[in-house]
Amino acid sequence: MKALILNSGLGNRMGEFTTTHHKSMARLANGETIFHRQLRILSENEIREFVVTTGPFEDQLRGETQGHEFAASTFDFVPNPVYDKTNYIYSMYLARELLQGDVVILHGDLVFDTNFVRDILADPRPDLGSFNMDLPQPDKDFKVQPADGRINRVSVSIFGDDCFAFQPFYKLSDRALQVWMGEIGAFIEAGNDKVYAENALNEVSAAADIGLFSYAGYFLSEVDTLDDLAQTRPAISRFDFREQPLFVGSHAMEDVRQFLTTRSVTRPMLVCGTSFDTLPIASVIQEWGYPLVRFSGYSPNPKSDEAAAGLKLFDAQGCDGLISVGGGSAMDTAKAIKAFRSLASTDRFWEEEISYQPIPHVAIPTTAGTGAESTYFAVIYCDGVKYSVTHESLLPDAAVLIPDLLAGLPDYQRKATLLDALCQCIESTWAPTADLESTHVAAEGIRLILAQTSAYLGGDRLAARDIQKAANLSGKAIDVTRTNAPHAMSYRLSSLYGIAHGHAVALTVAQVWTFFLAHQAEASNPAQLGSALSLLASLFGVSDNEDAVAAFRDFKDQLGLHVPTLRSDDDLNDLVDSVNLQRLNNSPVPLDRAGVASLYAQSLEDARQS
């Protein structure tokens, strides 16, 4: 099957942008252009032959096809020299000799999600157009008038209760295509080249016999104006986060192998620790036969010069993909390598703007804590200062959850990572940026952790599966909301007292929780915070908010992790000075320096008076 992408229009409804760019060069929130996204998703679904009609800025369209990711694809460009005087019906006519066999036909300004393409291609019906009965009837855009479940008429100017939203994404057999193309030829020969191609389709709709595929529940939308772009960017990002491929179970590694093949990866870099060779997946990956380039030169708290060294090796070895295996450090390092590849210099990376890089990244966690396999940010240190490297393109392209990979975790690490996942879910629940979806995800993570902790720590494999899922959910929750006060206060605690990150986060949660209860009236949204605190009480199996704090304390204390001792005022000042204000500002109740100092003092054994 091949794809015909109609990119021959002026796109002058996008204002100044389209005086210098083709409108399909507009970038989405992850930095990818609309056209590149179309090509990527179609090629991932095994469409590798493309016919692209062009009008202005043909060189920009050609440029998007030059990357390694499309090395297995072929492209035919069909210029329309009178694009400013004709409609795309004429562009289709010009491409007629290249259009034989089954095709998908789409406009170059369409943005869609991966699952939509997968499912319309998998539908057994050979001929389909795309409609949606759940959307309001558009005023100026295409609508379809069905007859017996098939296209009867498509037009911008039809209205009525029997007309529905329609987008120009078609899957057609050669039979239906030739019926349509025959009528297009008749229109052009009659000099009728300024109308939509659908005008010709309407004349032969009965013979074409094209069914209808509902895109309700999928994302399929055109970007015709700057307002369209502003609405599409966050909406498609949420779809992408929700639909990140998650490979689970006995066939997970075979799924990874197939995924890398569809992404044209031939030389991946394996970012992993020294314990990789002891993992059950090590032999599986090695048997794939890739010329693997291995990078293990990173610290538990990855440093920018380490990621830069990884990038240097990545480029020197001609790598075209990333596989990270390990805890958050491995995945953060892989994300930083991908991010740094777009920078002119990594010396002051926090001042540089990250751009989209078509480097597939598969994340395989060997701990159950951060959920970093499903987040689009990484923590990187430079000269002892912690920086957050954040860009939507850094969301791993696929995540793998294999419970057996948790079997070798030391007991302390199991407890600390489990606490990290629990605290991320709690912080996400009360975050001011929480929404219904993120709250549902966080709540499910909390339920799984509270139900399965005992069995997980006892070595139960099914419990390990649920804890791994809960950790993944915690990452998805904070992808939306970010963490807040307990995480902001944790990093120096970890380094000062030599304790694991999750252990450090959990030390302050109860005190922060109590502070929020006492100062709920000062919250940016008191009703929202009250609802979140009530939900947390319910999840912990109590009806009273104070009892919920006590239940969390009991849960933490039963894990037997020690509470460090605050030794001096210098220690306290050191801790307070270290707090990340950006994360602190994400707390539902404002916290100042004195409040942070008080929370630290309440959270630790205080030896300053002895």
Do 252 and 232 lie in a common domain? no
pLDDT value of position 349: 92
> What is the band of 606 on the pLDDT scale with cuts at 50, 70, 90?
confident
Do 270 and 313 lie in a common domain? yes
Query: Each residue of 46-75: pLDDT tens digit?
Result: 999 999 999 999 999 999 999 889 999 999
Average pLDDT across the chain, whole number: 94
Per-residue pLDDT, averaged over 141-145, amounts to 96
**Residue 171 token pair:** 């899957």
In a domain? residue 505: no
In a domain? residue 118: yes
Do 389 and 362 lie in a common domain? yes
In a domain? residue 378: yes
Do 12 and 56 lie in a common domain? yes
C-beta of residue 480 within 8 angstroms of C-beta of residue 371: no
Per DSSP, 20 falls in state T
Do 128 and 189 lie in a common domain? yes
- Per the structure, the complete domain to which residue 58 belongs is given by 2-242
| Residue where a domain stops, chosen among 242, 260, 284 | 242
pLDDT value of position 609: 62
pLDDT value of position 314: 97
In a domain? residue 290: yes
pLDDT value of position 44: 93
Please identify which residue in the block is written with the tokens 């094209």.
Answer: 210
- In this predicted structure, the answer to whether residue 390 has a pLDDT above a threshold of 80 is yes
Do 274 and 205 lie in a common domain? no
User: Which amino acid, one-letter code, is at 351?
Assistant: E
Query: Each residue of 421-458: pLDDT tens digit?
Result: 999 999 999 999 999 999 999 999 999 999 999 999 99
Query: Each residue of 73-101: pLDDT tens digit?
Result: 999 999 999 999 999 999 999 999 999 99
Continuous H helices in 406-460: 411-430, 436-457
Do 169 and 211 lie in a common domain? yes
Q: Of 569, 418, 424, which is closest to residue 500 (Cα–Cα)? A: 418
> Distance (Å, rounded) from C-alpha 589 to C-alpha 586?
9
User: What is 483-505 written as a DSSP string?
Assistant: --HHHHTTHHHHHHHT--HHHHH
Do 209 and 269 lie in a common domain? no
> Distance (Å, rounded) from C-alpha 581 to C-alpha 597?
14
In a domain? residue 90: yes
> What is the band of 259 on the pLDDT scale with cuts at 50, 70, 90?
very high
Do 145 and 289 lie in a common domain? no
> What is the band of 563 on the pLDDT scale with cuts at 50, 70, 90?
very high
- In this predicted structure, the answer to whether residue 610 has a pLDDT above a threshold of 60 is no
> Distance (Å, rounded) from C-alpha 220 to C-alpha 171?
14
| Residue where a domain stops, chosen among 213, 242, 271 | 242
Most confident option among 2-16, 388-402, 581-595: 388-402
**Residue 530 token pair:** 């009250």
- In this predicted structure, the answer to whether residue 246 has a pLDDT above a threshold of 80 is yes
Per-residue pLDDT, averaged over 246-257, amounts to 92
| Residue where a domain stops, chosen among 210, 242, 274 | 242
C-beta of residue 21 within 8 angstroms of C-beta of residue 121: no
3 state SS of 386: strand
Do 10 and 144 lie in a common domain? yes
pLDDT value of position 385: 85
**Range in 10-24, 46-60, 268-282 with the lowest mean pLDDT:** 10-24
- 529: phi > 0 → left, psi -120 to 50 → alpha, else beta; which? alpha
Continuous H helices in 251-341: 252-262, 282-287, 304-316, 328-340
In a domain? residue 61: yes
Total structural domains within the chain: 2
pLDDT value of position 9: 76
Per-residue pLDDT, averaged over 256-272, amounts to 94
Per-residue pLDDT, averaged over 220-237, amounts to 94
pTM metric for this prediction: 0.90
CATH of the domain at 278: 3.40.50.1970
Per-residue pLDDT, averaged over 309-331, amounts to 96
In a domain? residue 144: yes
Do 30 and 66 lie in a common domain? yes
CB count within 10 Å of CB 59 equals 9
Q: Render the burial of 329-359: b for 16+ CB within 10 Å, e for the rest.
A: bbbbbbbbbbbbebbeebeebeeeebebbbb
Tell me how far CA of residue 184 lies from CA of 89, 179, 444, in angstroms: 7, 9, 54
In a domain? residue 72: yes
CA angle 579, 583, 584 (to 5 degrees): 65
Do 390 and 270 lie in a common domain? yes
CATH of the domain at 190: 3.90.550.10
